[in-house]
Chains A and B, each alone.
Chain A
């Protein structure tokens, strides 16, 4: 009789234990599903706000172009205005293509490497070779990230050591601690000029260290300046050769 009681109590406790475990698992699952749905909802809400903002800009742009078109069609504007508009269109395209010297407000960033490691000083497959290759990659990635971040801050024009950054500009870290940019070699100091919207400059300067995650690769400084001149890209473009 006593053994029976103990056995039945053991069974009850076992069943209760299993039920409790299932219960917790089920609640945990429910919570996970709910959290994922909520985060999905938040992401979609953000996306919708962004989409509406983009469409609002597109609508304004559409109205502007329609007005221009109507003015030209119905000869509402004089020749002087048309010539001015053509000049503006050419200038806009030239700014984007980097075909012209430009001036504007922005920042000047100066970079100097902390270390002057040259891969050519080391033998291939030596213990240091992999470390140095990694160092080279990170130097290059640092500069690529910096340019990308400046673009995210809506930079209109960027140059490194007066070499204009255009659509197909590559940043290539060399084995001897230099960079190849647009096919030309550049050594330190690296002076990066960027024309950015006036309203962003102060915040950019404030956020600079965090933005580029400088770490211990480069010693850097940033200053804002009103009249930065960025020189044009003066090579024959591959694209133009290709088209013609």
Chain B
């Protein structure tokens, strides 16, 4: 090996070393400038999100309480005027619309994403399984304490699912009041559970429960009824 060759090899080696050093320097610099700002932004957003969630739940509580008091006043007025029939009609409609909390025996089903190899719980898994359970003629249902009513949508919202305009991540707890034997039968015999969930390693848990509390629908009902005219 002559001297010229040796120099060429050394030149090549140092070029690569220089290139690696430059890359490393760039990578560390960009990481150092980006990481703290992103981490800080995430921290600030988490705080803000928690604050908004707390504010939302306080507002919901306040609205619920005021509606309860308002309805009580209206009921008293109706009773004073001997409008028992109207009160009954109102009560029936409220119960059927999902505007009252209900308690009863039934089943609690929990769905969760696969641990490693498998799928996540998609919106279409949720609405398919809800439909399968409805075949068992349940009395009332909720997903993560969100009451299933006639207008309830179950839609993908990024890593979460939107139910009654609120977003929920996994796990999904489906509470069902009804005949537990029937509900179990429809759940386990459905193609979704017996084939898809088992193939995709979707984790599910089914347990019978007594005195299940299914909350009332807590959204704004004005939005659900505007633009609709009652005919009879």
Contact = CB atoms under 8 A, between A and B. Distances in A.
Interface of A: 2, 5, 9, 12-13, 16, 19-20, 23, 26-27, 30, 34, 37-38, 40-41, 43-48, 50-52, 54-55, 57-59, 61-62, 65-66, 68-69, 72-73, 82, 85-86, 89-105, 133, 137, 140-141, 144-145, 148, 151-152, 154-158, 165-172, 195, 197-198, 229, 232, 237-240, 242-243
Contacts of B140: 167-168, 239
* Secondary structure call for the B interface: helix
Contacts, number: 251
Interface string B190-211: 0100000000000000000000
A102 B150 CA distance: 14
Contacts of B11: none
A21 B83 CA distance: 83
A170 B134 CA distance: 5
Contacts of A68: 70
Interface in B113-132: 124, 127-128, 131
B151 interface: yes
Interface of B: 1, 9, 13, 16-17, 20, 23-24, 27, 30-31, 34-35, 38-39, 41-42, 45-46, 48-49, 52-53, 55-56, 59-60, 62-63, 66-67, 69-71, 73-74, 77-78, 86, 89-90, 92-99, 102, 104, 124, 127-128, 131, 134-135, 137-141, 148-155, 158-159, 165-167, 177-178, 191, 217, 220-232
The interface centre, meaning the residue of A20, A100, A152 with most chain B CB atoms within 10 A of its CB, is: A152
A155 B151 contact: yes
Contacts of B222: 61, 92
Contact of A55 (B39, B56, B97, B149): B56
B225 A148 contact: no
20 contacts: A13-B13, A23-B24, A38-B38, A65-B67, A65-B70, A86-B90, A93-B94, A93-B221, A95-B228, A96-B217, A97-B97, A98-B150, A102-B228, A103-B231, A133-B191, A145-B124, A148-B154, A165-B150, A167-B98, A168-B139
Contact of B56 (A51, A65, A151): A51
Contact of B59 (A52, A59, A137): A59
B93 A97 contact: yes
A47 B49 contact: yes
A186 B89 CA distance: 31
A27 B23 contact: yes
